[in-house]
Structure 1
């Protein structure tokens, strides 16, 4: 666990995005990813799935879901518990896709480095497009949000869950994301359904706390955004 925490902390993109470096992190981490994240009380997949379920009015068994940055398949497993059955997944790490395949939940899995490569998904067909954890400086650029919306069918849902990481460049990323979300709303591409702030997105219980001014510094909050694509 300490080695993984050090690995995560060592990834601090300073100048722009570095998706290849990010994927090296996950290739190294893949085999113990869920075990380590469970120890860090990583709750994002469950929080995102629950928030969607609260607002989803259709039949989840018939819904086609695109799981973007699907990782090990954790989000799909949480959604399956809520009745969703039809998943396609995209991720930039082959190691993570291999784990996702073992869940037997996905009809299709595709390898793509989002940002440098376009989202490999048919436009306008998905009832739900969901991305959890990857909208973060150094990983998936803000520009990909438009691709998420494009993949959803008219009236479909777009779910985005991200950590409220502190400091730069994450503060700038957050401002850029908020600006893009608002601009897409003004352009009539989608309408907001709801936004929820959570205090415990994840935590680092095994870190040395001597340097922390407040134990709360070890907690990371998060935000889940839910939009509905316009019918136009």
Structure 2
């Protein structure tokens, strides 16, 4: 089903869902301003075959052809949003929450070489899916697809706000610092939080309102 498009879209993170705490918090905040926030389900009922390419194509099918469009994304949804901003000129503003830059470089060491080799051999890895609150399998195609993307190629000067926790244990804030360092159109705000950003939701919302001139 194609969702009705609002000028604001939110992309949830890896192994998450439109029901996540951040997604619902922002939906409520935008609704209070009379603005609809479209939150597609990036799992598509088939988490096993999820890839960055699939997420990009799914959202591109939802995008209207004319600007302005503000795209928000959390973690892996933030990485997806960054690539969508590169490829789609009708997107004129990006808000990235702890974006998953250098995702494989951070994830592979945590899994370890043995588990990565097992994943490649068996073509399946069981990981915890927070949106479904249970372990779920994902295909090794997730890795091979993601390895094709070089973040150095993200160069379209889309006004971008990055909000990242200084104590992020999943994607270190250094990943966002490196991304912003040579892109003057990117504003990075570091916050006293971890990857969830759960304790700074009001700060996130204040920064987003300022960036989007919503007040």
* Higher helix residue share: 2
**Pair in the same fold by TM > 0.5:** no
* Higher strand residue share: 1
TM-score by length of 1: 0.28
